[in-house]
Amino acid sequence: MSPRPAENPHNRFDAALRLAREERFAEAIASAERELDGSASGGDAAASALAEVARIAQAVGNLEMAAASLACALEVRPTHADLHYRRACVLLQLKRAGEARVALDRALEINPRYVAARIERAQLDASEGFLGEALEALRDLARGAPLGDSEDFHKAMGRADRGEWDEAHADFGRALESREDGLKQRLARSDSLLEDEDFARATTELHQAIAEHPAYPDLHARLARIELRQGHWDDAAASFGRALELNPAFHDARVGLAVALEALGMRAQAMDQLGLVIERDPAHAEARDLQARWTATHARAAGETHRAKTT
């Protein structure tokens, strides 16, 4: 239930992406930063654009610029675990293990159940000689069965047990890639069903995705938005609440929770949620817009009640 902006904020970063495709990475980063400077919106779009600049730079082997672009993205969205993880992977390629460890630890602080970060952290421990700690971390991960019955995952565990860490790394990568591919397919089916307004089947796809990836706050928030569209306010509030349990700094989910609470008639609680967002991110456009509109609506209602009492 987001307000419809006059323009898509992602379009503002097209110039940065064009520069990146021309391998003019420093200019691409500067372009993205200029577009964001002083803006009251577009933070998520800027972080996404800078992450894409990093991906392009990494693909052509310019790891320094990839790391720089991800660092800029994290200045915009410091609580996005995925950005910390991606930066850690680039730093490892650059042989900057100490910085990579800090980035992985931050990703896991934000999302302790981030499977890819846990695997990469364990492999970093192994590379630095902490084999016992690495194996225990991987066995703990295996006990949670985050990758289901993946053959690649079990093969990787066997190789790690035998000390074949380079081979294990490749198998872990294939296991994660297969897992993410399955998620992408579910989300694509859900999106297609939503376009046809088949909410029931779209919701089923998301419930299945959540069962497979319960630690992904974005999935809970995605489900909540569908529940908002259907007017299922209680369900939406619960789903946004779960997203916030997993990532308390997920501002868009907190705004969604405010929308659900307001629809349930819990205006004071809804305003409290908006206040928390604005306190931590004063430039959050949707939170500020809703706060202004609800304040004005409340003032009008109070005025009408006062006039009715005095006439």
Give 218: exposed, middle or buried? Use CB within 10 Å, 0-12, 13-18, 19+. middle
Query: Which amino acid type is present at position 67?
Result: A
**Overall fold of domain 216-294:** 1.25.40
**R_g over Cα of the chain:** 22
> Does the predicted model carry a pTM greater than 0.75?
no
Backbone φ and ψ for 223, nearest 5 degrees, come out as -60, -40
For CATH 1.25.40.10, list the domain ranges present in the chain: 9-111, 216-294
SS3 for 232?
Answer: coil
Q: What is the pLDDT of residue 4?
A: 34
Q: What does the pLDDT profile of the chain (311 residues) look like in tens digits?
A: 333 333 444 467 888 999 999 999 999 999 988 887 644 445 677 888 898 999 999 999 999 999 999 999 998 888 888 899 999 999 999 999 999 999 999 998 888 878 888 888 988 888 888 888 888 887 777 776 555 556 777 777 777 777 777 777 777 776 766 666 667 777 888 888 888 888 888 888 888 888 777 777 888 998 999 999 999 999 999 999 988 887 888 888 999 999 999 999 999 999 999 999 998 888 888 889 999 999 888 777 665 665 666 66
Tokens of 16: 């940065």
| DSSP codes of every residue in 8-46 | -GGGGGHHHHHHHHTT-HHHHHHHHHHHHTT-SS-HHHH
Q: What is the pLDDT of residue 103?
A: 95
Q: What is the pLDDT of residue 115?
A: 81
Distance set, CA 213 to CA 54, 158, 200 (Å): 26, 24, 20
Q: Give the integer Cα–Cα distance in Å for 164 and 135.
A: 12
Residues near 129 by beta carbon (within 8 Å), at least 6 away in sequence: none
Q: What is the pLDDT of residue 9?
A: 43
Q: Do residues 90 and 54 touch, judged by C-beta distance below 8 A?
A: yes
Q: Give the integer Cα–Cα distance in Å for 175 and 159.
A: 14
Nearest to 147, CA basis, from 122, 172, 117, 121: 172
Q: Give the integer Cα–Cα distance in Å for 267 and 252.
A: 18
Q: Do residues 311 and 302 touch, judged by C-beta distance below 8 A?
A: no
Residue 221 CA to chain centroid, in angstroms? 10
Q: Give the integer Cα–Cα distance in Å for 300 and 311.
A: 17
Q: What is the pLDDT of residue 3?
A: 35
Tokens of 303: 């005025």
Q: Give the integer Cα–Cα distance in Å for 6 and 13.
A: 16
Does domain 9-111 sit in CATH 1.25.40.10? yes
Query: Which amino acid type is present at position 298?
Result: H
Q: Give one word for 306, left, alpha or beta, with left for phi > 0 and alpha for psi -120 to 50.
A: alpha
